[in-house]
């Protein structure tokens, strides 16, 4: 089978196509024939070495496809099931062996590409809006990179929960998409200083919560924009990691809360995973949550997909399709 491996951490060119044997599922595992794999920013962190893994690194954390074989005690799925998963590495491939407890069976209305586009970023947007900081009416949220993969989903879910949403974007095209997703106001943070802009759009009060996936470039200013006892949800670092911080700063800026959550801890049990996935797929099937696939690439063009994602050229989901 064809699979993308990184043998030396570095740029997109390190994503090389390899010919490997189709793996066999062990106990509690299933073999999935991949129909579509999702591209996520975390794949860039593994490729560059920001997140550590032993070499060669099998890249990709998300896919949808069909169960081809099951190992002993893989009771959650059966051969022929249409499934999707997130957070099991090695999805940039024609086949992957995945712990069966991580597989979600797909409702009939959800096709493979939608499923591969919705799992990792959809579950993330779900846990951010529902659990990390439960949004509700009367709350104002600032969402950075509002037209990104997670961003467009988070804006929609935030609006479903009745929050007021301000979003940052880098271009007019991205602003249009964020507004279409429901954002009440957009700020061009690569052109304007977003701090006074957000202050203006929040009538000087600041916001209740900042969802910050951009990291180094936005984190400290985000703290300045929080109301007293507001919450900073720092969940990514697309512009680089956040510098270490003295907890006293949270006190000085108004007894703030800071959390640095990750999806794995919010899908900690199979029950929790299925609950979040059921809600996300239910919203998609019901037309409340729109999935935007920005671009699909053949698997062999994984390097181009990374080039586009880290070059800020995309809005929504990128998919890799095995040839
Ligand atoms: P996106 O589609 O959101 O792509 C990243 C976006 O970030 C870009 O489109 C760009 O939007 C913005 N950005 C700002 N500065 C930079 C920069 N210097 N370089 C690149 N992009 C920049 O990616 P994803 O939806 O896959 O992921 C979004 C973030 O969420 C990532 O940081 C990721 O690590 C995080 N994440 C965290 C999870 C968790 O469990 N904690 C789970 C899933 C994702 P613009 O052009 O508008 O500025």
Residue nearest to atom 9 of ligand 1 (CA): 312
Q: State the pLDDT at residue 323.
A: 86
Buried b (16+ CB within 10 A) or exposed e, 6-25: beebeebebbbbeeeeebeb
By C-alpha distance, which of 172, 166, 173, 174 is closest to 195? 166
Residue nearest to atom 17 of ligand 1 (CA): 239
Q: Is the peptide bond before 56 cis (omega within 30 degrees of 0)?
A: yes
Tell me which DSSP letter residue 93 carries.
B
In Å, how far from its chain's centre is CA 281?
A: 15
Q: State the pLDDT at residue 300.
A: 98
Q: State the pLDDT at residue 244.
A: 96
Give the H or E element holding residue 156: helix 149-160
Does residue 57 contact residue 47 with C-beta atoms inside 8 Å? yes
By C-alpha distance, which of 188, 128, 116 is closest to 153? 128
Domains of the chain: 2-120+264-321 (3.90.180.10), 137-260 (3.40.50.720)
Does residue 122 contact residue 86 with C-beta atoms inside 8 Å? no
Low-confidence ranges of the chain (pLDDT < 70): none
Residue 318: C-alpha distances to residues 86, 149, 169, 275 (Å): 15, 8, 18, 25
- Give the residue, out of 50, 213, 233, 273, with the most ligand 1 atoms within 8 A of its beta carbon, to mutate for a pocket test: 213
By C-alpha distance, which of 316, 322, 310, 323 is closest to 12? 310
Residues with CB under 6 A from ligand 1: 40-42, 120-121, 124, 145, 147-151, 169-170, 174, 213-214, 217, 235-239, 261-263, 309-310, 312, 314
Residue nearest to atom 10 of ligand 1 (CA): 312
The C-alpha atoms of residue 107 and residue 186 are separated, in whole angstroms, by: 34
């Amino acid at each position: 089978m064809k699979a993308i491996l990184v043998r030396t951490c570095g740029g997109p060119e390190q994503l090389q196509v390899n010919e490997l044997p189709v793996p066999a599922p062990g106990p509690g595992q299933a073999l999935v024939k991949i129909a579509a794999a999702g591209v996520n920013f975390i794949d860039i962190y593994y490729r560059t070495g920001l997140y550590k893994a032993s070499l060669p690194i099998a890249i990709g954390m998300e896919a949808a496809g069909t169960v081809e074989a099951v190992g002993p005690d893989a009771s959650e799925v059966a051969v022929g099931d249409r499934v999707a998963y997130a957070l099991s590495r090695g999805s940039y491939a024609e086949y992957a062996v995945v712990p069966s407890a991580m597989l979600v069976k797909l409702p009939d209305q959800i096709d493979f590409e939608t499923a591969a586009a919705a799992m990792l970023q959809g579950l993330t947007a779900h846990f951010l809006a529902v659990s990390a900081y439960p949004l509700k009416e009367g709350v104002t949220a600032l969402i950075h990179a509002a037209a990104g993969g997670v961003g467009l989903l988070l804006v929609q879910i935030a609006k479903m929960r009745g929050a007021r949403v301000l979003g940052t974007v880098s271009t007019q095209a991205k602003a249009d998409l964020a507004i279409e997703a429901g954002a009440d106001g957009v700020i061009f943070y690569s052109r304007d200083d977003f701090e006074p802009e957000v202050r203006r759009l929040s009538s000087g009060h600041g916001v209740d919560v900042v969802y910050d996936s951009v990291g180094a470039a936005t984190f400290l200013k985000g703290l300045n924009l929080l109301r007293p006892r507001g919450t900073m949800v720092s969940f990514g670092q697309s512009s680089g990691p956040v510098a270490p911080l003295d907890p006293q700063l949270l006190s000085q800026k108004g007894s703030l809360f800071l959390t640095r959550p990750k999806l794995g801890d919010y899908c900690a049990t199979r029950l929790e995973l299925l609950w979040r996935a059921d809600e996300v797929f239910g919203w998609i099937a019901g037309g409340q949550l729109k999935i935007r696939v920005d671009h699909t690439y053949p698997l062999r063009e994984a390097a181009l997909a990374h080039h586009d994602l880290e070059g800020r050229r995309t809005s929504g989901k990128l998919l890799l399709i095995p040839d």
